[in-house]
Amino acid sequence: MPIINRQDAAEVEQYIARFFAASVAGRAQALRKLFVEKLDFASATGAVSLAKAPKNVALPSTAERIASMEGLHVVYVPLSGSPSPDRVRKAEAATAAKLIADELHGDLLLVMTNPSCSQLHVIWPTFTGASPSLRRMIIERDLPRRTAVQQLSNIFWR
């Protein structure tokens, strides 16, 4: 559902806060609730293998499918020990995007967290050429999120 009033915005804000408050094991479910209950996506489950990632890229062995809508797949990739623990490097995001797109086919929305889970990266990769172009929105724990909340709601329309 698109955000049309303050109540809708407050609800999306609550879903984001629940994600940051969730345990490591509960984060994927918290994301699924945001996309399914608030943004009207269909629930999706299952793992996507990231095992073919090169050794110099620190990715988990799998990513988790969260939701889908009309050919758009939302996939969660939690990082746990990259070379730079406080950020999501372009190398990790680009590699994950390529591996997931090869398996799922269709449009992709990657949701990644840095190892400390202080940031939630929402990444829209486009594939034109050898390396994907990554449009990224970063949502930080305990910072105002008005723009992020509005942009998340706009996913429904795109």
CA 67 – CA 23 distance, rounded (Å): 20
pTM of the model: 0.87
pLDDT tens digits, one per residue of 53-92: 998 888 999 999 999 999 999 999 998 865 556 788 899 9
pLDDT tens digits, one per residue of 50-64: 999 998 888 999 999
Instruction: Report DSSP letters for 89-115, one per residue.
Output: -HHHHHHHHHHHHHHH-SEEEEEEE-T
